[in-house]
Amino acid sequence: PTAASLLGLKGHVIIRPHGSQQKPHVILRPLELDDDSVNEGEASKDPSMLYFSLFAAKRIECKP
């Protein structure tokens, strides 16, 4: 699967390596779910699912 399909995006995702001088625009961090964070009717601990947090250092504009 592609990064775009994993994130549920229809377009392309450009992932570029950055040096130590540059700061990334978007950071994806793996998210560990514990029993307290899983409520009934919401996300479950499915091992085939990828959970992540998205942090943006700059404002992101999504245009259709």
End-to-end Cα distance, the chain: 23
Contact indicator for 25, 18 with CB cutoff of 8 Å: no
pLDDT tens digits along 21-46: 666 567 777 777 665 555 554 556 66
Cα 43–47–6 angle (5° rounding)? 75
- pLDDT at residue 19 is higher than 60: yes
Question: Could you tell me which residue, 5 or 62, shows the higher pLDDT?
Answer: 5
**Domain range annotation of the chain:** 21-64
Q: What is the pLDDT of residue 39?
A: 53
Contact indicator for 52, 20 with CB cutoff of 8 Å: no
DSSP state of 5: H
Confidence of residue 49 (pLDDT cuts 50, 70, 90): low
Q: What is the pLDDT of residue 26?
A: 72
